[in-house]
Structure 1
């Protein structure tokens, strides 16, 4: 699979730079690798015999890179492209930074691979304290923000920007 370093959310949305783009760039860019993503999770996953209860759950993490997967055509379907985000998670104990103050101390060692459409926005972070520092997440996306990826490269007169 191809590995991409950056992507832009459609319709003038955020430019997301994976951590590999941040490390390899000689220019001074703002760190746009921390993201908010939403998944549907089973609230009863820790109880094997309980009935499944799927709820929308907010997560924060650092996008490491994007995987571009092309599924070849077959007799039933046309070729399909799927984009996956490889994220290192932040332990925020399930808090949503659009609703309450949300902090994390460090990135976890847990890597999560998600459909890139689950990523909603780039978020900021501010270091608080020096002795035992933690990071506050600044998430200005609000509940109205939803991801919509578009393939602008398919149009003849599309401008060649750093969208993908």
Structure 2
């Protein structure tokens, strides 16, 4: 068998395995984590006893009883892991890709609040970029701005 034939065989096998896994997951139905009921966590550079569920920073206090919090030592003795999740599970459509792209996913605001709480606990303030920017807007700058705005809701680019 030629090298090209082996490559096609490997690619086809990988594609078939991926399709099999996708079909199995679809048939299994949504789990609690698929429905968006997963923990959102950050690691904070402070001791676990310095973070108290009753005295969380304002961005998380605004959620009140709508969120659950989990505070525990971070792995490797690297500070504190602060986790939050919404108590009420929204419909799956609220966590779909179109909802995330339009900013309608309820977890996006919770992610922003969690990042702001981390900044407040570590630095005492939430740092924001200069507005207006100190440079001229270019095509590359517009692209970076677009990606940065999207990352604000998801936490990643």
TM-score of the superposition, structure 1-length normalised? 0.26
Structure with bigger strand share is: 1
Structure with bigger helix share is: 2
Q: Which has the larger radius of gyration?
A: 2
